[in-house]
Chain A
Amino acid sequence: MNSPTVFIVDDDTAVRESLCDLVQAIGLNVETHAGAQEFLDAYDPARPGCLVVDVRMPGMSGLALQEQLAARGVRIPLIMITGHADVPMAVRTMERGAFDFLEKPFRAQVLLDQIQRAIQRDQQIRQQERRRAQIAGRMALLTPRERAVLDRVLEGRANKVIAAQLGISKRTVEVHRAQVMHKLEVDSLAELMQQVLFFRGLPPVPPARPSGFVRLGENHNSGT
């Protein structure tokens, strides 16, 4: 169940089924839904893949779905498609973190390329989250003292200074430091910094370069 799935949500049956046909033609798994609510009810965030959604649907719109997913902390990449030329709408969805915004009719290649990229992005995100979870797990093993030492090490303090600050012996600092390295499973200071900074300061997933929504009606090959 870990191969990526392309989730297609569109109320127009013909469009939905044809998109399904298209995506399956490049060997990807597809799951279709006629409405946003139906998708939400069925979706398990553990499943990798990406989401292709029509912006305007009866009931919950694509935009509302985007909000719902954000509220639940679900970060599946979202490709919005629309049959209306709707620049303000496009801008809004992109600002809220959509992966891309495409206008019908689009060149099939464009959509497929973006789907591939979205899937990659999704895997990237998941990887990062797994990594973070892993680090979190390790960090949880640290005692409060060890954490205090870690913070000061990252600030660049010498062991002597740390000892003075914490009111413990230099030797104790060295012991704590070794423990931190051991628990966090890193071999060097560089690695340590990398890991912790990654854990703490990871920026949100940056949006991919938008491929088609501003150039209305133009078909193009998108590079990277």
Chain B
Amino acid sequence: MTRAQLAQKVRALDARVLELERAEVERRQHEETLREKAATLRAVIDCSLNPVITIGFDGTVQLASYSVERVFGWKPEEVVGQNVRMLMPEPYHSQHNEALANYRRTGQTTILGRTREFEGLRKNGTVFPCEITVWRVDLPGKDAPLFTGVIVDISERKRAEVALRAGEERYRTLFEDSRDAIYIVTREYVHPAERDRFQQEIEQDGSVRDYEVKLRKKDETAMDCLLTSTLRRAEDGTILGYQGVIRDVTERQQARERLRRHEAELAHVLRLSTVGEMASGLAHELNQPLSAVSNHAEAWMRRLRSGAGTSEELLAALEQISQQAVRAGEIIRHLRDFVRKGEPRRSTVGVDEIVHEVVALVSSEAQQKQITLRLELAPGMPAVAADRIQIEQVLLNLVRNAFEAMTELEAGTRALTIRTSTAAEELVEVAVADTGRGLNPETIDHVFEPYFTTKAGGLGMGLSISRAIVEAHGGRLWATPNPDRGVTFRFTLAQ
């Protein structure tokens, strides 16, 4: 070889080297680019929170994204090269290879291109619910496809679903088991008769509570009900309707009725018993007019027999007889009214009248027991709305209790004062003050308890019934010790 030939050869080799070097650079660049691309793709895949796994036809994992570790506990490199069924619990674990083989043979699949629920098996052996989407990937130049699956861990979602269902179940049970009726209605659903009252109230306040209403059952029986309800509004604030609860309080009403009747009966019995205790005093009251009638009649029988006396005198005597008979009749009528059984009758009553009636009933007893009765009645007292007999019963009870309290006192120191006054606005107050042995201020309120009595044969119901009566009239009954001696019982009544 000549030098020229050698030089030529060298030049050719150099050129070749250059080419190779260039090609190498290109190749490297190309590789670099590829690597970058691959890395980028990888990074993208690894960004996925949901594991992405690619397998071959035989089930071997070729690619596993970074998040495989987060979800399955395996590092990606522990999974790649293994059969993907390591990530599957039974029954999938045993079925997977067969399924793949079957697809290879028949092309039948239930999974490709769909999202389906499966279960996944973690490294620590726990199983979790997941959703898997699998695609088939056909790469050019490869004769076997790859399958890429994205796995979404739906444990949370499942938990939420279960909780929601349980919650729904719970509320449904409450709803279904509720003894009250629960409703959601539109505005038009309310009965026209009630519409004004109900709608006004609920739309003004936004809700109603324990609204009293009478409803009718399917069998036409009536029920007393309480409604508790709120408004249903649309987003823009317009009222769509109402929702709420209906409570059947018929039984409660009936129980209240029974209680009221029972109290009325008890009050009646007490009135009878009181009259019994006052019998001798009442007998005396009746004796007076009867004696007068008897005396006049006897006088005139004698005169007429002997022909004495003028017609005018006789007339005067007969008028007296008549008057006294009326007086006796009044006492009896009053007694009869007092022990009458029956529903309370409210009417407008003057408090002074009641005081006088009671005083009439007790005056002879007071005299017998040497008790001074004092009346301090304020003038111009307004009338009250009350059942006259019941208020009389209360006042009579207080007065006779006061008598009882003063029995041990020396004669001459026994005084009972009845005072009337206007307390606050539209309230009338009646006070009964005695000079008796008094009550302990600590326990003074105990006297109003049922069965409390200081009397040997006492029932102990008087004050408790009296308080019930006063409270049923919207008033109060209470007792305070007097500064000097004795006790004052006071009660109020509304006009």
Chain A residues at the B interface, C-beta cutoff of 8 Å: 12, 14-15, 17-19, 21-26, 56-58, 83-85, 104-106, 108-109
A12-B292, A85-B280 known; 6 new pairs, CB 8 Å cut-off, are A14-B320, A18-B295, A21-B296, A22-B295, A25-B309, A58-B367
Q: Please tell me which one of the listed residues A12, A22, A58, A105 contacts residue B299 in the complex, with CB atoms under 8 A apart.
A: A22
Interface pair A12/B288, CB less than 8 Å apart:
yes
Which A residues lie within 8 Å of B368 (CB)? 56, 84
Interface pair B298/A14, CB less than 8 Å apart:
no
Interface pair B290/A105, CB less than 8 Å apart:
yes
Which 6 residue pairs are nearest across A and B when measured between Cβ atoms? Answer: A108-B298, A18-B295, A25-B299, A18-B292, A83-B284, A14-B292
Is B136 interfacial (CB 8 A cutoff)?
no
Min CB distance B311 to A, Å, is 15
Min CB distance A11 to B, Å, is 9
- A17 CA to B303 CA in the complex, in Å? 16
Interface pair B327/A14, CB less than 8 Å apart:
yes
Closest chain B residue to A82 by CB distance? B284
Which A residues lie within 8 Å of B283 (CB)? 83
Which B residues lie within 8 Å of A58 (CB)? 367
Interface pair B324/A14, CB less than 8 Å apart:
yes
Interface residues of B in 259-313 (CB under 8 A from A): 280, 283-284, 287-296, 298-300, 302-303, 308-309
- A18 CA to B296 CA in the complex, in Å? 5
Also in contact, A22 and B287, with CB within 8 A (given A14-B320, A14-B324, A56-B367): no
What are 19 A-B contacts defined by CB distance under 8 Å?
A: A12-B288, A14-B289, A14-B327, A15-B292, A18-B299, A18-B324, A19-B295, A21-B296, A21-B299, A21-B320, A23-B299, A25-B302, A26-B302, A58-B367, A83-B284, A85-B280, A104-B287, A105-B294, A108-B299
Interface pair B294/A108, CB less than 8 Å apart:
yes
Which A residues lie within 8 Å of B309 (CB)? 25
- A83 CA to B285 CA in the complex, in Å? 8
Is B381 interfacial (CB 8 A cutoff)?
no
Residue of A18, A57, A84, A106 with most chain B CB atoms under a 10 A cut-off = A18
Interface pair A17/B367, CB less than 8 Å apart:
no
Which A residues lie within 8 Å of B320 (CB)? 14, 17-18, 21
Interface pair A18/B291, CB less than 8 Å apart:
yes
Q: Please tell me which one of the listed residues B284, B299, B308 contacts residue A84 in the complex, with CB atoms under 8 A apart.
A: B284
Residue of B298, B303, B323 with most chain A CB atoms under a 10 A cut-off = B298
Min CB distance B306 to A, Å, is 9
- A25 CA to B307 CA in the complex, in Å? 11
Interface pair B287/A25, CB less than 8 Å apart:
no
Which B residues lie within 8 Å of A104 (CB)? 287-288, 290-291
Which B residues lie within 8 Å of A15 (CB)? 288, 291-292, 295
Q: How many A-B contacts are there with CB distance less than 8 Å?
A: 75
Is B375 interfacial (CB 8 A cutoff)?
no
Min CB distance A106 to B, Å, is 8
Min CB distance A194 to B, Å, is 42
Which A residues lie within 8 Å of B447 (CB)? none
Is B207 interfacial (CB 8 A cutoff)?
no
Contact with A along B342-365 (1 / 0, CB 8 A): 000000000000000000000010
Residue of B283, B291, B364, B368 with most chain A CB atoms under a 10 A cut-off = B291
Interface pair A105/B296, CB less than 8 Å apart:
no
Closest chain A residue to B363 by CB distance? A58
Closest chain A residue to B281 by CB distance? A84
Is B317 interfacial (CB 8 A cutoff)?
yes
Also in contact, A83 and B288, with CB within 8 A (given A14-B324, A21-B317, A25-B303): yes
- A18 CA to B317 CA in the complex, in Å? 8
- A21 CA to B295 CA in the complex, in Å? 7
Which B residues lie within 8 Å of A106 (CB)? 291
Contact with A along B218-238 (1 / 0, CB 8 A): 000000000000000000000
Which B residues lie within 8 Å of A21 (CB)? 295-296, 299-300, 317, 320
Which B residues lie within 8 Å of A108 (CB)? 294-295, 298-299
- A14 CA to B289 CA in the complex, in Å? 7
Also in contact, A17 and B292, with CB within 8 A (given A83-B284, A83-B364, A105-B287): yes
- A214 CA to B234 CA in the complex, in Å? 93
Which B residues lie within 8 Å of A24 (CB)? 299
Interface pair A83/B294, CB less than 8 Å apart:
no
Closest chain B residue to A85 by CB distance? B280
Which A residues lie within 8 Å of B308 (CB)? 25
Interface pair B293/A18, CB less than 8 Å apart:
yes
Closest chain A residue to B299 by CB distance? A25
Which A residues lie within 8 Å of B298 (CB)? 22, 25, 108-109
Closest chain A residue to B297 by CB distance? A108
Min CB distance B153 to A, Å, is 103
Which A residues lie within 8 Å of B295 (CB)? 15, 18-19, 21-22, 108
- A143 CA to B266 CA in the complex, in Å? 85
Which A residues lie within 8 Å of B289 (CB)? 14
Which A residues lie within 8 Å of B280 (CB)? 84-85
Which A residues lie within 8 Å of B367 (CB)? 56-58
Min CB distance A17 to B, Å, is 7
Which B residues lie within 8 Å of A84 (CB)? 280, 284, 364, 368
Interface pair B300/A25, CB less than 8 Å apart:
yes
- A136 CA to B296 CA in the complex, in Å? 46
Which B residues lie within 8 Å of A83 (CB)? 283-284, 287-288, 291, 364
